Structure 1
Amino acid sequence: MLLLVSGASGVGKTTARLHARHLFERRRLDDVYETAELFTLSPIPDVPTIAWRQEQVEAAVRRAIALEAEGKHLLFSGDPVPLGEALAAPSADRIDIAACLLDVDEEAHLARLAQRNESEELIPLHRSFATWLRAHATDPGHVPEAVTTDAWPTMRWERWVGRTPGPEWAMTVIDTSRLTPEQVGARVADWCQRAVAGDAPVFRTGWFRG
């Protein structure tokens, strides 16, 4: 299974992945869950584009497929990869995909962006993307142009673009606003195990044909 942790910049994706990995080691599950982020899959180009990011999502999907043959799962987190990009990756119809959105309220988000010395010019963009991701978690029809514009030509957007909200479009949402990094990591690790066990929303192979 591909376990995607999504979220805007500053919500704690990379930190959550690192703490979740430590928990897997402590629970002796590190041979079951492999962790990765976008920038570990390929050298970063001088000017990363949306199309390049989407190619790397396909690489993550293919890695998850390879791991599945060994009875393992891939926890993929780091860059703000939306659920729709994972589902539209060309090979995504060959594996189950579960997605978890790390969300944060405006006050906490602004504080975290300030701690990172984020440019004042980029802060509105980060906030807008967080708002879009929140809507995308429940409504596949909400401004799909946010990810389909300037996209990698091989992406299979027809799997979900044009759909309306429904029970088949679901993901887990974790509000990290008041959580410590360790708590977020624990919740993500627990979510991984619940998704694999079928106790959290999962996009099963071929779901879009249903």
Structure 2
Amino acid sequence: MLFKLTGSSCSGKTILAFAAGGQLGKIAVHDVDEVDVPEGADRHWRQRMTEMWVRRALDYQDRGIDLLLSGQSPLGELLAAPSAPLLDAIAVCLVDVADLVRRARLAKRDPGRWDPKAIDAYIGWAAWHRQHALDPCHRPDVIIGNSWSEMAWHRWTSWHADDPRWRTQVLDTTDRPVTASVDQVEQWIIEQRDAHQAGQLPLSHGWAS
């Protein structure tokens, strides 16, 4: 099973993934940026890397191990990755934070690296993530336009917000202790595993058909 913590930068995805994964059994934890990120990495690169990580999840799946992955690809990109239907199950959680907090974290993490325009882009990406998590019809062009040619967008572009397969858990880390957020991610993983075992997880094998 593939668990994905997604969202714009500086929401806490990677910290939460490794902390929560360390408390669970039969789960590998990785961050998308473990792979060298090239200068000028774009949408094509992100989508190709999404497919690479899906295949990595399939390798773990063959060994009876889940993958908990942190990165910025949203639910729509994950579902459109060529190999995604081969996964036993998929669950996605949007890790979010208030815009003012994100701005402060970006400035602290990389002092002087980001100009106001670049920071505004991260804030805009975060705002899009929030709406995408609720509704597949919200600005799909943001990820589909000029995308990697192998992506299978048709799998979900006819879905509506009430489709049970379109579900992203939302975790807002604003003003929350890290330990509380870690506990929530851990509980989310346990619940998704239980739902999958009970045959109640909509994004389980066969969802694409």
TM-score interval for Structure 1 and Structure 2 normalised by the shorter chain: 0.7 to 0.9
- Matched with 2:30 is 36
What TM-score does the superposition give when structure 2 sets the normalisation length?
A: 0.88
Asked whether the equivalents of residues 12 and 102 of structure 1 are also in contact (C-alpha less than 8 Å), the reply is: yes
Equivalent position amino acid for 1:141 in 2? C
- Matched with 2:5 is 5
CA distance in 2, matches of 1:122, 1:171: 26
CA distance in 1, matches of 2:115, 2:205: 40
Match among 79, 82, 95 for residue 87 of structure 1? 79
- What's the CA shift for 1:103? 1.6
CA distance in 2, matches of 1:176, 1:94: 32
Equivalent position amino acid for 1:170 in 2? R
- What's the CA shift for 1:201? 5.9
Asked whether the equivalents of residues 4 and 93 of structure 2 are also in contact (C-alpha less than 8 Å), the reply is: yes
After TM superposition, list the pairs within 5 Å mapping 1:141-160 onto structure 2.
141-160=137-156
- Matched with 1:46 is 39
Residue 58 of structure 2 is aligned to residue 74 of structure 1: no
- What's the CA shift for 1:183? 2.5
CA distance in 1, matches of 2:28, 2:116: 36
CA distance in 1, matches of 2:171, 2:8: 13
Give the 4+ runs in structure 1 shifted more than 6 A. Answer: none
CA distance in 2, matches of 1:167, 1:88: 16
SS at match of 2:117: coil
Root-mean-square deviation (CA), in Å?
1.9
Identity %: 32
Residue 105 of structure 2 is aligned to residue 112 of structure 1: yes
- Matched with 1:121 is 117
After TM superposition, list the pairs within 5 Å mapping 1:126-205 onto structure 2.
126-168=122-164, 169-198=166-195, 202-205=202-205
Equivalent position amino acid for 1:54 in 2? Q
Residue 92 of structure 2 is aligned to residue 99 of structure 1: yes
- What's the CA shift for 1:165? 1.2
CA distance in 2, matches of 1:39, 1:111: 21
CA distance in 1, matches of 2:206, 2:44: 24
Q: Deviations over 1:93-112 (max 9, x none)?
A: 11111000112223322332
SS at match of 2:5: strand
SS at match of 1:121: helix
CA distance in 2, matches of 1:124, 1:46: 20
CA distance in 2, matches of 1:141, 1:165: 7
Asked whether the equivalents of residues 7 and 94 of structure 2 are also in contact (C-alpha less than 8 Å), the reply is: yes
Listed as ranges, the gaps of 5+ residues in structure 2 are none
What TM-score does the superposition give when structure 1 sets the normalisation length?
A: 0.87
